[in-house]
Amino acid sequence: MRGRLLEHLRVLGIVDLSADDLDTHLSWALQHHPSHTQLLERVLGHAAGIRRGRCCERRIHDSGMPVRHTLETFDWHFQPKLDRTTVEELADLGFLERKQDLIITGQPGTGKSHILGAIALRACLAGRVVRYARFVDLLSDLHAGLADGSYEARLRRWARHEFVVLDDVGLGQVPSHGDAPTAAHMLWNLIDRRHQHRPTAISSNIKLSAWGKYLGDATVTAAILDRLAMTAVRLDIDGPSYRQHLARLRAGETASESDLEAA
């Protein structure tokens, strides 16, 4: 009977249940005498849980997120002006259901990327297909498309992703290639295709008023911000740099160790 069960699982493509797992479930059934439905729920629930976990890991890997940030590891005390309730509401992903965009602004080191990454991770865990990229990497990808004739295909691919996360607008050199479209035109083409259809989350190290200069076209940038203003949730982090804080702590520890050695 055991061999027949294993063969049935193989034919049905239930590869997430090993022979050892099946033996464990059968031993449990002999001990606890569950109903047929209870046993079936236990066996299939185990296999489904393994598959869901594996699919989740694949979504996280394919998203391109370099680090798995979580809100549980965010230092809320260091940014007392930040409304924790607002951030946690965003992490509930209701804005994705409403097809709203998200813009997080603030100085470098204030936690924008951490919060953005934590929201992206929550989306992956919730079954969403996420695509993360630094803004300059998005531009590099689209410029590569101009070079090899695949620009439209690449743009369509970016536009189709269920949830796009663009980190660090304002950080890094915007590529410029002669008569190629400006960064503003490229971002406009993407936002225009996604707006009110699929949500986009953006973090920026510079004020929105400085986007025109950074992106290379004030008029097109105004059109981008006008679109985003219609539905986007805004979060501005006004606080100190956590990275500088850690650097000062490390410098203090080094100084203390040097004093001890000198003594």
- Judge if 55 and 85 occupy the same domain: no
pTM of this structure: 0.80
Lowest mean pLDDT among 155-164, 168-177, 215-224: 168-177
Under the banding of pLDDT at 50, 70 and 90, the label for residue 223 is very high
Q: Tell me: pLDDT of 204 over 60.
A: yes
- Judge if 84 and 50 occupy the same domain: no
Flag whether 259 is in a domain: no
- Measured CA to CA, the distance from residue 124 to residue 56 in angstroms comes to 6
- What pLDDT is recorded for position 46? 83
- Judge if 40 and 152 occupy the same domain: no
Are 218 and 209 within 8 A, CB to CB?
A: no
Residues spanned by the domain of 48:
2-63
Q: Tell me: pLDDT of 257 over 60.
A: no
- Measured CA to CA, the distance from residue 258 to residue 249 in angstroms comes to 14
**Mean per-residue pLDDT over the chain, rounded:** 88
- Judge if 55 and 82 occupy the same domain: no
Are 73 and 90 within 8 A, CB to CB?
A: no
Count up the domains in the chain and report the number: 2
Average pLDDT for 129-157: 94
Residue 187, domain CATH: 3.40.50.300
- What pLDDT is recorded for position 122? 96
3-state secondary structure 167-236: EEECCCCCCCCCCCCCHHHHHHHHHHHHCCCCCEEEEECCCHHHHHHHHCCHHHHHHHHHHHHHHCEEEE
CA-based radius of gyration for the chain: 24
Dihedral, CA atoms, 221, 129, 231, 112, nearest 10 degrees?
Answer: -70
- What pLDDT is recorded for position 113? 93
Average pLDDT for 175-183: 77
Flag whether 6 is in a domain: yes
Range list of H helices, 18-175: 19-32, 36-63, 84-91, 94-97, 112-125, 135-148, 151-160
Identify which has the larger pLDDT, 11 or 212. Answer: 212
- Judge if 165 and 94 occupy the same domain: yes
Long-range CB pairs of 253-259 (<8 Å, 24+ gap) are none
Nearest Cα residue to 166 out of 198, 197, 201:
201
The per-residue pLDDT for range 86-121, each reduced to its tens digit, is 999 999 999 999 999 999 999 988 999 999 999 999
Residue type at 12? L
Could you give the 3-state DSSP secondary structure of residue 163? Answer: strand
Residue 83, classified by CB atoms within 10 Å of its CB into exposed (0-12), middle (13-18) or buried (19+), is exposed
Flag whether 231 is in a domain: yes
Pairing mode, if any, of strands 200-204 and 130-134? unpaired
- Judge if 150 and 26 occupy the same domain: no
- What pLDDT is recorded for position 254? 58
